[in-house]
Amino acid sequence: MLAYDRDALICDLAETYHILDYRSVPVEVLSILAAGLRDDSRIKLKMNGLKISLDRLLMARMVDSLALLVWTKTEDATKGRNKPKSITEVLTAEPKEDPVKTYSTPEEFESAWKKITGG
């Protein structure tokens, strides 16, 4: 899991077990704790190629189905306009750009900051 996405695993360990320094935990214990993470943890979702948990996906699909069912009973449906947007599509769409940028060192941050501020 560390090799797959170190940052996701660190976040999951901190959130679930309040372990801020995974290196301070014996490897055997760390592997047990990592395997015991819930199925909707960041690392497990990523390793399974999912963007959201199955529960959220199913709930979004139910809302989409209900909205479509209600819409079919309207005048707009007979004219083919104002079809409700799919929440499922929004949740599973590919992101346009990663909104969060992380830096490994203070020097990387300083360099990026200088480029952004022009100084």
The pTM of the full predicted model, rounded to 2 decimals, is 0.63
CB 47 within 8 A of CB 1: yes
Q: What share of the chain is helix, strand, coil (3-state, %, to 5)?
A: 60, 0, 40
- Domain map (residue ranges) of the chain: 1-50, 52-119
Identify the pLDDT of residue 99: 67
16 neighbors 38 (Cβ within 8 angstroms): yes
77-119 confidence digits (pLDDT tens): 999 999 999 999 999 888 777 667 788 899 999 998 898 898 7
Which residues are CB-neighbours of 38 under 8 A, at least 6 positions away?
16, 44
